[in-house]
Structure 1
Amino acid sequence: MILKKTLLALTVVGLMVGCGSQNTDNTNQSTDGPETTAIKDTTAAQQQGVIQFEESAFDFGQVKEGDVVEHIFKFKNTGTAPVILSQVSASCGCTTPDFTKEPVLPGKMGEIKVSFNSLGQVGTQQKIITVSSNAENRVTTVQIKGVVEK
Protein backbone atom coordinates (compact mmCIF):
# COMPACT_ATOMS: atom_id res chain seq x y z
CA MET A 1 0.00 0.00 0.00
CA ILE A 2 2.84 2.42 0.90
CA LEU A 3 4.61 1.50 -2.34
CA LYS A 4 1.48 2.36 -4.40
CA LYS A 5 1.12 5.77 -2.67
CA THR A 6 4.81 6.54 -3.23
CA LEU A 7 4.60 5.62 -6.91
CA LEU A 8 1.43 7.67 -7.33
CA ALA A 9 3.06 10.69 -5.65
CA LEU A 10 6.17 10.42 -7.83
CA THR A 11 4.02 10.14 -10.96
CA VAL A 12 2.03 13.27 -10.03
CA VAL A 13 5.23 15.22 -9.26
CA GLY A 14 6.77 14.05 -12.55
CA LEU A 15 3.73 15.23 -14.51
CA MET A 16 3.70 18.61 -12.76
CA VAL A 17 7.39 19.18 -13.42
CA GLY A 18 7.06 18.08 -17.03
CA CYS A 19 4.03 20.30 -17.65
CA GLY A 20 5.61 23.25 -15.88
CA SER A 21 8.75 23.26 -18.00
CA GLN A 22 6.74 22.84 -21.17
CA ASN A 23 4.54 25.86 -20.36
CA THR A 24 7.52 28.00 -19.43
CA ASP A 25 9.10 27.47 -22.85
CA ASN A 26 5.92 28.46 -24.70
CA THR A 27 4.59 31.33 -22.60
CA ASN A 28 7.68 33.39 -21.83
CA GLN A 29 8.59 34.19 -25.40
CA SER A 30 8.97 37.92 -25.96
CA THR A 31 9.81 40.09 -28.92
CA ASP A 32 11.83 42.36 -26.60
CA GLY A 33 15.37 41.31 -25.85
CA PRO A 34 17.07 41.93 -22.52
CA GLU A 35 18.49 45.22 -23.74
CA THR A 36 15.03 46.59 -24.62
CA THR A 37 13.60 45.58 -21.25
CA ALA A 38 16.52 47.25 -19.42
CA ILE A 39 15.98 50.48 -21.37
CA LYS A 40 12.25 50.49 -20.53
CA ASP A 41 12.98 49.90 -16.82
CA THR A 42 15.57 52.69 -16.71
CA THR A 43 13.23 55.15 -18.42
CA ALA A 44 10.40 54.36 -16.00
CA ALA A 45 12.72 54.80 -13.01
CA GLN A 46 13.77 58.25 -14.25
CA GLN A 47 10.15 59.41 -14.51
CA GLN A 48 9.41 60.51 -10.93
CA GLY A 49 8.01 63.55 -9.24
CA VAL A 50 9.92 65.34 -6.49
CA ILE A 51 8.34 67.41 -3.71
CA GLN A 52 10.33 70.51 -2.81
CA PHE A 53 8.82 72.67 -0.05
CA GLU A 54 9.42 76.43 0.04
CA GLU A 55 9.89 76.01 3.81
CA SER A 56 10.01 72.95 6.03
CA ALA A 57 9.02 74.70 9.28
CA PHE A 58 6.78 77.58 10.33
CA ASP A 59 7.23 79.34 13.68
CA PHE A 60 3.97 81.01 14.70
CA GLY A 61 5.63 82.78 17.65
CA GLN A 62 3.43 83.34 20.72
CA VAL A 63 -0.34 83.01 20.73
CA LYS A 64 -2.99 82.94 23.45
CA GLU A 65 -4.59 79.62 24.37
CA GLY A 66 -7.67 79.08 22.24
CA ASP A 67 -6.32 80.88 19.17
CA VAL A 68 -6.31 78.97 15.89
CA VAL A 69 -3.13 79.29 13.83
CA GLU A 70 -3.26 78.59 10.10
CA HIS A 71 -0.38 78.29 7.68
CA ILE A 72 -0.03 77.14 4.07
CA PHE A 73 3.03 75.10 3.13
CA LYS A 74 3.65 75.45 -0.60
CA PHE A 75 5.65 72.92 -2.59
CA LYS A 76 6.81 72.57 -6.16
CA ASN A 77 7.04 69.35 -8.15
CA THR A 78 10.63 69.57 -9.42
CA GLY A 79 10.52 66.06 -10.92
CA THR A 80 9.48 64.72 -14.31
CA ALA A 81 6.19 62.98 -13.42
CA PRO A 82 3.00 64.07 -11.62
CA VAL A 83 3.01 63.95 -7.81
CA ILE A 84 -0.04 62.62 -6.01
CA LEU A 85 -0.34 63.17 -2.25
CA SER A 86 -1.85 59.98 -0.85
CA GLN A 87 -1.96 60.91 2.83
CA VAL A 88 -1.18 63.93 4.97
CA SER A 89 -1.42 63.44 8.74
CA ALA A 90 -0.56 65.43 11.84
CA SER A 91 1.13 64.28 15.04
CA CYS A 92 -1.75 65.61 17.17
CA GLY A 93 -5.53 65.86 16.90
CA CYS A 94 -5.23 69.61 17.54
CA THR A 95 -3.61 70.01 14.11
CA THR A 96 -5.65 69.52 10.94
CA PRO A 97 -4.09 69.38 7.47
CA ASP A 98 -5.91 69.98 4.19
CA PHE A 99 -4.03 69.36 0.96
CA THR A 100 -4.05 69.46 -2.83
CA LYS A 101 -6.04 66.42 -4.00
CA GLU A 102 -5.38 66.55 -7.76
CA PRO A 103 -2.03 65.47 -9.26
CA VAL A 104 0.64 68.18 -9.20
CA LEU A 105 2.25 68.23 -12.63
CA PRO A 106 6.00 68.73 -13.12
CA GLY A 107 6.94 72.38 -12.57
CA LYS A 108 3.61 73.18 -10.86
CA MET A 109 2.79 74.06 -7.26
CA GLY A 110 0.71 72.30 -4.63
CA GLU A 111 -0.09 73.18 -1.05
CA ILE A 112 -0.87 71.85 2.39
CA LYS A 113 -2.97 74.08 4.64
CA VAL A 114 -2.44 73.37 8.34
CA SER A 115 -4.74 74.56 11.15
CA PHE A 116 -3.54 74.35 14.76
CA ASN A 117 -6.11 74.79 17.54
CA SER A 118 -4.20 75.91 20.65
CA LEU A 119 -7.04 75.21 23.10
CA GLY A 120 -5.57 73.04 25.88
CA GLN A 121 -2.06 73.22 24.36
CA VAL A 122 -0.30 75.64 26.75
CA GLY A 123 3.49 75.82 26.52
CA THR A 124 6.05 75.20 23.78
CA GLN A 125 4.51 73.41 20.79
CA GLN A 126 5.97 71.50 17.86
CA LYS A 127 3.56 69.68 15.56
CA ILE A 128 4.85 67.42 12.77
CA ILE A 129 2.86 66.96 9.55
CA THR A 130 3.78 63.80 7.63
CA VAL A 131 3.28 63.83 3.85
CA SER A 132 3.06 60.53 1.92
CA SER A 133 3.06 60.53 -1.88
CA ASN A 134 4.26 58.77 -5.02
CA ALA A 135 7.20 61.19 -5.30
CA GLU A 136 10.85 60.17 -5.21
CA ASN A 137 10.89 61.38 -1.60
CA ARG A 138 7.90 59.17 -0.68
CA VAL A 139 7.56 60.39 2.91
CA THR A 140 8.54 63.87 4.01
CA THR A 141 7.60 66.17 6.89
CA VAL A 142 6.93 69.80 7.67
CA GLN A 143 6.32 71.31 11.08
CA ILE A 144 4.67 74.19 12.88
CA LYS A 145 6.00 75.41 16.20
CA GLY A 146 5.59 78.17 18.71
CA VAL A 147 4.48 78.97 22.24
CA VAL A 148 0.92 78.98 23.57
CA GLU A 149 0.36 81.29 26.56
CA LYS A 150 -2.42 80.81 29.08
Structure 2
Amino acid sequence: MKKQILFLASLFVITMTACTNDSTKKTEKNTASVTTSQEKKNAEYAVLSFAENEYNFGTISEGDIVNHKFSFTNTGTVPLIILTAKGSCGCTVSKWSKKPIAPGEKGEMLVTFNSNDKPNQQIKQVTITANTKTGKEILKIKAMVTPKTRTVTSATPVSK
Protein backbone atom coordinates (compact mmCIF):
# COMPACT_ATOMS: atom_id res chain seq x y z
CA MET A 1 0.00 0.00 0.00
CA LYS A 2 2.85 2.38 0.86
CA LYS A 3 4.43 1.71 -2.54
CA GLN A 4 1.19 2.60 -4.32
CA ILE A 5 0.80 5.89 -2.40
CA LEU A 6 4.46 6.77 -3.06
CA PHE A 7 4.01 5.92 -6.74
CA LEU A 8 0.82 8.06 -7.04
CA ALA A 9 2.44 10.98 -5.21
CA SER A 10 5.47 10.81 -7.53
CA LEU A 11 3.22 10.65 -10.58
CA PHE A 12 1.25 13.67 -9.32
CA VAL A 13 4.43 15.74 -8.77
CA ILE A 14 5.77 14.85 -12.22
CA THR A 15 2.45 15.76 -13.86
CA MET A 16 2.25 19.12 -12.10
CA THR A 17 5.84 19.99 -12.97
CA ALA A 18 5.34 19.05 -16.61
CA CYS A 19 2.19 21.16 -16.88
CA THR A 20 3.84 24.17 -15.31
CA ASN A 21 6.83 24.12 -17.67
CA ASP A 22 4.63 23.58 -20.72
CA SER A 23 2.26 26.44 -19.84
CA THR A 24 5.20 28.75 -19.16
CA LYS A 25 6.59 28.00 -22.62
CA LYS A 26 3.18 28.63 -24.20
CA THR A 27 2.84 31.94 -22.33
CA GLU A 28 6.32 33.01 -23.47
CA LYS A 29 5.41 32.17 -27.09
CA ASN A 30 2.13 34.09 -26.86
CA THR A 31 3.87 37.09 -25.29
CA ALA A 32 6.50 37.09 -28.05
CA SER A 33 3.74 36.88 -30.66
CA VAL A 34 1.84 39.82 -29.14
CA THR A 35 5.04 41.90 -28.85
CA THR A 36 5.90 41.27 -32.50
CA SER A 37 2.34 42.16 -33.50
CA GLN A 38 2.48 45.41 -31.49
CA GLU A 39 5.85 46.33 -33.00
CA LYS A 40 4.39 45.84 -36.48
CA LYS A 41 1.40 48.04 -35.62
CA ASN A 42 3.68 50.75 -34.18
CA ALA A 43 5.76 50.69 -37.36
CA GLU A 44 2.69 51.48 -39.46
CA TYR A 45 2.30 55.03 -38.13
CA ALA A 46 3.78 58.30 -39.21
CA VAL A 47 5.66 60.14 -36.47
CA LEU A 48 5.29 63.92 -36.37
CA SER A 49 8.52 65.19 -34.76
CA PHE A 50 8.51 68.95 -34.18
CA ALA A 51 11.68 70.95 -33.55
CA GLU A 52 9.56 72.74 -30.88
CA ASN A 53 6.00 72.15 -29.66
CA GLU A 54 5.55 75.57 -28.08
CA TYR A 55 6.39 79.14 -29.10
CA ASN A 56 6.26 82.34 -27.04
CA PHE A 57 5.73 85.57 -29.00
CA GLY A 58 6.70 87.58 -25.91
CA THR A 59 5.01 90.94 -25.35
CA ILE A 60 2.96 92.27 -28.25
CA SER A 61 0.40 95.06 -28.59
CA GLU A 62 -3.30 94.33 -28.82
CA GLY A 63 -4.28 94.27 -32.48
CA ASP A 64 -0.93 92.84 -33.67
CA ILE A 65 -1.04 89.84 -36.00
CA VAL A 66 2.00 87.61 -35.52
CA ASN A 67 3.14 84.40 -37.24
CA HIS A 68 5.40 81.49 -36.40
CA LYS A 69 6.50 78.53 -38.54
CA PHE A 70 6.75 75.23 -36.69
CA SER A 71 9.20 72.92 -38.47
CA PHE A 72 8.71 69.16 -38.33
CA THR A 73 10.03 65.89 -39.74
CA ASN A 74 8.17 62.67 -40.43
CA THR A 75 10.34 60.21 -38.49
CA GLY A 76 7.89 57.34 -39.03
CA THR A 77 7.93 54.61 -41.65
CA VAL A 78 4.83 55.63 -43.63
CA PRO A 79 3.87 58.91 -45.32
CA LEU A 80 2.47 61.54 -42.93
CA ILE A 81 -1.00 62.81 -43.79
CA ILE A 82 -2.21 65.86 -41.87
CA LEU A 83 -6.00 65.92 -42.05
CA THR A 84 -6.77 69.04 -40.00
CA ALA A 85 -5.10 71.63 -37.81
CA LYS A 86 -7.55 73.64 -35.73
CA GLY A 87 -6.93 76.48 -33.33
CA SER A 88 -8.50 76.63 -29.88
CA CYS A 89 -10.31 79.81 -30.94
CA GLY A 90 -10.81 81.84 -34.10
CA CYS A 91 -7.62 83.80 -33.47
CA THR A 92 -5.26 81.03 -34.59
CA VAL A 93 -4.97 79.90 -38.18
CA SER A 94 -2.83 77.07 -39.47
CA LYS A 95 -1.40 76.55 -42.93
CA TRP A 96 0.35 73.35 -43.95
CA SER A 97 1.05 71.23 -47.01
CA LYS A 98 -1.94 69.07 -47.94
CA LYS A 99 0.36 66.58 -49.72
CA PRO A 100 1.61 63.48 -47.85
CA ILE A 101 5.05 63.93 -46.28
CA ALA A 102 7.28 60.92 -46.97
CA PRO A 103 9.31 59.29 -44.17
CA GLY A 104 12.38 61.41 -43.46
CA GLU A 105 10.98 64.50 -45.19
CA LYS A 106 10.53 67.87 -43.49
CA GLY A 107 7.57 70.21 -43.48
CA GLU A 108 6.32 73.42 -41.91
CA MET A 109 3.12 74.56 -40.27
CA LEU A 110 2.36 78.28 -40.16
CA VAL A 111 0.40 79.46 -37.12
CA THR A 112 -1.01 82.99 -37.08
CA PHE A 113 -2.23 84.76 -33.95
CA ASN A 114 -4.50 87.81 -34.19
CA SER A 115 -4.39 89.60 -30.84
CA ASN A 116 -7.29 91.95 -31.58
CA ASP A 117 -9.63 92.01 -28.55
CA LYS A 118 -7.33 89.56 -26.72
CA PRO A 119 -5.60 91.59 -23.98
CA ASN A 120 -3.27 90.19 -21.27
CA GLN A 121 -1.70 86.70 -21.12
CA GLN A 122 -2.84 84.45 -23.96
CA ILE A 123 -2.17 80.73 -24.33
CA LYS A 124 -3.65 79.09 -27.42
CA GLN A 125 -3.23 75.68 -28.97
CA VAL A 126 -3.46 74.10 -32.38
CA THR A 127 -4.70 70.50 -32.47
CA ILE A 128 -3.35 68.52 -35.41
CA THR A 129 -5.23 65.44 -36.61
CA ALA A 130 -2.94 63.09 -38.54
CA ASN A 131 -2.12 59.42 -39.10
CA THR A 132 0.14 59.26 -36.03
CA LYS A 133 -0.12 56.69 -33.24
CA THR A 134 -2.24 58.96 -31.02
CA GLY A 135 -4.08 60.55 -33.95
CA LYS A 136 -3.68 64.04 -32.46
CA GLU A 137 -0.71 66.27 -31.80
CA ILE A 138 -0.77 69.66 -30.05
CA LEU A 139 1.20 72.87 -30.62
CA LYS A 140 1.01 75.81 -28.21
CA ILE A 141 1.54 79.53 -28.66
CA LYS A 142 1.80 82.16 -25.94
CA ALA A 143 1.82 85.94 -25.86
CA MET A 144 1.52 88.74 -23.35
CA VAL A 145 -0.80 91.20 -25.10
CA THR A 146 -0.52 94.80 -23.95
CA PRO A 147 -4.08 96.18 -23.93
CA LYS A 148 -5.00 99.16 -26.08
CA THR A 149 -5.55 102.36 -24.17
CA ARG A 150 -9.24 102.96 -24.13
CA THR A 151 -10.78 106.40 -23.79
CA VAL A 152 -13.38 106.75 -21.11
CA THR A 153 -16.24 109.07 -21.87
CA SER A 154 -17.54 110.95 -18.89
CA ALA A 155 -21.22 110.99 -18.12
CA THR A 156 -23.01 114.28 -18.62
CA PRO A 157 -24.05 115.95 -15.37
CA VAL A 158 -27.69 115.81 -14.43
CA SER A 159 -29.44 119.23 -14.27
CA LYS A 160 -30.99 120.28 -11.02
Q: Same fold (TM over 0.5)?
A: yes
Matches within 5 A, 1:1-150: 43=40, 46-150=43-147
* Residue of structure 2 in register with 1:35 after alignment: none
User: Which deviations, in whole Å up to 9, do the C-alpha atoms of 1:73-121 show, x marking residues without a partner?
Assistant: 1111001100100010000101111112110100011221011011100
Structure 1 unaligned regions, length at least 5: 1-38
Q: CA RMSD in A?
A: 1.9
Q: Distance in 2 between matches of 1:123 and 1:89?
A: 22
Secondary structure of the residue that 2:70 maps to in structure 1? strand
Change in 2 beyond 3 A, CA 1:134/1:123: same
1:50–1:137 Cα contact (<8 Å) kept? no
Quote the offset at 1:48 in angstroms: 2.0
Contact 2:42 2:133 in 1 (8 A): no
Q: How many residues align?
A: 112
Is contact 1:92-1:127 (8 Å) kept?
yes
What is the alpha-carbon distance in structure 1 between the residues aligned to residue 143 and residue 51 of structure 2?
Answer: 19
Contact 1:48 1:80 in 2 (8 A): yes
Aligned-partner Cα distance in 2 for 1:136–1:102? 19
Identity %: 36
Amino acid corresponding to residue 68 of structure 2 in structure 1: H
Contact 1:96 1:116 (C-alpha < 8 Å) held by counterparts? yes
* Distance in 2 of aligned mates of 1:64 and 1:147: 8
Rounded Cα–Cα distance in structure 2 between residues aligned with 1:72 and 1:88: 14
Higher Cα Rg: structure 1 or 2? Answer: 2
Question: TM-score, normalising length from structure 2?
Answer: 0.65
TM-score (norm 1): 0.69
